[in-house]
Amino acid sequence: MTNPTPTKDRIFAKQMAAGDFAFDDNVAGVFEDMINRSVPGYSTIINMIGVLAQRYSQTDSKLFDLGCSLGGATFAMASKLEKQNCSIEALDNSEAMVSRLKKRVALDPTMDAVINCHCSDILTFPIENASVVVLNFTLQFIPMADRIGLLQKIYEGMRPGAILIISEKIIFPDETLNQLFIEMYHSFKESMGYSKLEISQKRTALENVLIPESLDSHRSRLNDIGFHSFDAWFQCFNFASMVAFK
Ligand code: GEK
């Protein structure tokens, strides 16, 4: 369920003092515009999460959207659900996001019937009976030391055959490629209407908040936990979406 006229993101347009980025009311109010203009391939990733969920959802199971924001992946999965007796657990610890999501869900009785919204920390919320787990650009905001424990908890809560989908900003061990993809990403943002000032101020605000890792780091951590068949199914510059299975 997308908003036909999302409010334009101008948060970093004015000269501002350095400060950390937060998922507050200002960000939630422009989030749809922000993420569509900031993540190359976002709408493709969202649509394909729906397609993957259609294939991997299991009867009598739960689908988790961890760090759901306004529910982009949640609605994509809900619109494709065919299996009997499934629910989608949509979680975010930003009250501003979850209150907006709840209003959107309430507008459509077919969505209301399958989507449960929770204002919760994904580090403490129980994950159980999961056939599909989505971390769509959320893991990168979790403190590095907590990532392995979160992924172990997710693994424990997944059914055999379940799918984990992780989308992230990524870094590359090859410094030339790393630099090239960052520069291409900034060109992409300019092409989406962001000024150089907005791009550099947001970059500074995210510096200690969004910590990206390489595909190899994701791969080896997931393999160590017990996941199998890890790979990226989508990549555009320094953004990727990966799958792994239990
Ligand atoms: C989408 N998945 O549109 N517990 C719960 N939520 C959290 C936590 C936490 N510990 N940490 C961060 N978040 C969405 C986009 S945005 C990505 C995800 C971005 C939430 C945070 O409040 C925010 O809503 C979300 O994770 C990250 O498909 O803005 O780049």
- 3-state SS, 96-131, equals HHHHHHHHHHHCCHHHHCCEEEEECCCCCCCCCCEE
Predicted local distance difference test score (pLDDT) of residue 19: 59
Average pLDDT taken over every residue of the chain? 94
Report the predicted TM-score, pTM, of the whole model to 2 decimal places: 0.94
**Confidence band, pLDDT 50/70/90 cuts, at residue 83:** confident
Q: Output the residue whose Cα is nearest ligand 1's atom 9.
A: 121
Predicted local distance difference test score (pLDDT) of residue 10: 82
Predicted local distance difference test score (pLDDT) of residue 13: 66
User: Is-contact 83 57, C-beta < 8 A?
Assistant: yes
Is CATH 3.20.20.80 the right assignment for the domain spanning 21-112+127-161? no
Q: Output the residue whose Cα is nearest ligand 1's atom 21.
A: 67
Say yes or no: CB of residue 94 within 6 Å of ligand 1.
yes
pLDDT of 3 strictly over 70: no
**Radius of gyration of the CA atoms of the chain, in A:** 18
**Confidence band, pLDDT 50/70/90 cuts, at residue 113:** confident
Mean pLDDT value across residues 118-125: 98
**Confidence band, pLDDT 50/70/90 cuts, at residue 16:** low
Q: How far is the CA of 149 from the centre of ligand 1 (A)?
A: 18
Q: Tens digit of pLDDT for each residue in 168-220? A: 999 999 999 999 999 999 999 999 998 898 898 889 889 889 999 999 999 99
| Angle in degrees, CA 167, 69, 148, rounded to 5 | 45
Q: In b/e form, how buried is each residue of 234-244, taking b as 16+ CB within 10 angstroms?
A: bebbbbbbbbb
Say yes or no: CB of residue 136 within 6 Å of ligand 1.
yes
